[in-house]
Amino acid sequence: MKGFFLFIFSFLITIQVGFGQNLLSGRVVDGNDDLKLQNATVMLIQAKDSLLVSYGRTDAAGKFELKKPKSGEFLLIVSYPKYADFFRNISEENALGDIKLQSVAHLIEEVVVKRGAAITIKGDTTEYDAGQFTVEKNAKVEDLLKVLPGISVDASGKITAQGKVVQKVLVDGEEFFGDDPTLVTRNLRSDMVDKVQVYERKSEQAERTGMDDGERQQTINVKLKDNAKNGIFGKALLGGGTDDYYMGQLMFNKFKGSQKISAYGLFGNNGTTSLSWQDAEKYGGDSGVTFTDEGVNVVSTNDPFSGQGIIGIPKAINTGINFNDKWKEDKMKLNLSYKFGQINSDGSEETLRSGLRNDSTRKNLDTENQQHRVNLRYDVDIDSLNLITLRGNATKKKLWNRTSNFANTYNESGAITNQVDGYEISDDRVDNYNADILYTRRFVKKGRSLTFNGTVGRDEVSGNGFLYSELSRRPGLQDTLTDQKKVKNQQLTRFRGALTFTDQLTERLNLSLAYALENSKNTSVIESYNKVDGVYNSLDDTYSSNYDFDRLSANYRLGLAYNVEKLKINLTNNFNNDQLKQINNFTNKELERTFFTYNPRLNV
């Protein structure tokens, strides 16, 4: 009976979805001799915001069918090589009949001819011809993206293409200032752009070995015009306003062939110079805990440079320089960048609550944060069968903040029952170092390869802090005073080595075997000292900790990929053996655990 009701429920849902959409059909033919045009590109977009609704190609008879919502205003675009693009507004229509395209050779003089199609689909890539979309003079790449069908950009610079968030923006296929898309979209001019390509980028492992592991990143590649690849250009923007608001943006670019040198500087107190939306999403807005395929959990904290949690008007500086070049017929590639960021703020806020709990809180927050970051990537194609990539990055941060709190709690008659007056100061140094080597050996047999990936990293956090809190309670209850100094010293060292073998078993079936060994050592010492006779020298065991945490993990992966023209199936089996050991150095107690996990993943 339970299965019967589940079937009925699923059937009703299917009917409901089916009623929510119609099929838009038609046939694409030559306007002069009714020749059926096979593989013509047909796209349906929303008229109000240019979001892509559906797309497809015509069959051998020139016919097509697209799913169309039951209501709304839409625009139909039909493209075919050497024919003028066809545009038509669609609302209630479903059966369009014959759509006749005019060949360029037969167009009369009064008809405006666009050279090439505005939008073409090449396999999994949607390509836009930037010259056929109108933007204002001196517009940025971001302004161009906003007028492209199927692409939207919000106020923070976050890009959505074909319903998926864009994670990478490349320039001529290369990274530009690492993982900050806004440095491309908000600083390069739109008139420099020849084509905009949207596609799902495979993982680096898949691109090197040819073995599709099913991992994808929504990517935009900005292809520059040939005349924009040589020369010097820049941008300067300064502004000021009432209440001491100001801002400035400087951008310098020198492109010469494959060599690109870019520098930028952003400063101001108008809230527009924080780091990119991607950094803000990466460090905030979620639980901060993620799990990899190997079952490892990663805990992240809020990024102090994202602007989150700041009170008052932040004063920010964000600068950087990027260098790209290629040598020896593009067999050697270098990408080097440096960034500096600083954000200061000083402000206060007050909160009043009434109801089940009546209280008032006043908080003052003063922050001074500074960051340096260097990124390096060096690719070498030793020969057609051997590839090697070296990567490294280093980050140094100075984080200082002072938070003052004053709070009152009231009873039903409005009398104060509790009062808290205190402050907290933290002064931390954060250093991160990472190095990575990726070597791939291809074999003569198609699809067969062997890849080694080695990684080493170290994170260090050290600093001092003070906590002062004075709690005054209603008569009859004892007041409390906390006056402590905090000392922090934490280190995490990571080593990882992985070996991956791929092979093409048949024309459509690929095999992937991998083994990885990872070792991490984590030490954390947090000491709290109470103030006695004017000196912080009395260790408080309750608020102090001293732990060593070691983890040794072995991962085994078996992957199978089945690929045909319109169907791709990836089955990945991950087996992970974790050995964990934790030592409490205060009590000399040890805790050991061993876990074996199986994590399958299926992509169709």
Q: Is pLDDT at 305 greater than 70 in this prediction?
A: no
Sign of CA dihedral 189, 191, 193, 196: positive
DSSP characters for 494-535?
A: EEEEEEEEEEE-SSSEEEEEEEEEEEEEEEEEEEEEEEETTE
Q: Is pLDDT at 227 greater than 90 in this prediction?
A: no
pLDDT, residue 529, reads 95
Tens digit of pLDDT for each residue in 433-474? Answer: 999 999 999 898 888 899 999 999 999 999 999 999 998 877
**399-416: b (≥16 Cβ within 10 Å) or e:** bbbbbbeebbbbeeeeee
Residues 325 and 334: their CA atoms lie apart, in Å, by 5
Q: Which span out of 8-17, 74-83, 199-208, 352-361 was modeled with the highest average pLDDT?
A: 74-83
DSSP characters for 118-165?
A: SEEEETTEEEEEGGGS---TT-BHHHHHHTSTTEEE-TT--EEETTEE
pLDDT band with cut points at 50, 70 and 90 for residue 11: very low
Of 346 and 231, the one with more pLDDT: 346
pLDDT band with cut points at 50, 70 and 90 for residue 477: low
Q: Is pLDDT at 498 greater than 90 in this prediction?
A: yes
The arithmetic mean of pLDDT across residues 4-32, rounded, is 62
Tens digit of pLDDT for each residue in 391-413? Answer: 999 999 999 999 999 988 888 77
Q: Which residues contact 397 (CB under 8 A, 6 or more apart)?
A: 304, 369, 370, 371, 372, 428, 429, 430, 431
**243-260: b (≥16 Cβ within 10 Å) or e:** eeeebebbbbbebeeeeb
Q: What percent of the chain has pLDDT over 70?
A: 83
For the chain, the helix, strand and coil percentages under 3-state DSSP, each to the nearest 5: 10, 60, 30
The CA distances from residue 38 to 16, 42, 474, 514, 531, in Å, are 33, 11, 84, 43, 83
State pTM to two decimals. 0.67
Q: In 354-415, where do the E strands start and end?
A: 358-381, 386-410
Residue 170 tokens read as: 């490349």
- Nearest one of 485, 569, 489 to 535, comparing CA atoms: 485
Q: Which span out of 135-139, 203-207, 227-231 was modeled with the highest average pLDDT?
A: 135-139
Parallel, antiparallel, or unpaired for β 480-504 and 589-603?
unpaired
Q: Is pLDDT at 297 greater than 60 in this prediction?
A: no
Contact criterion met (CB below 8 Å) for 248 and 266? yes
Q: Is pLDDT at 137 greater than 90 in this prediction?
A: no
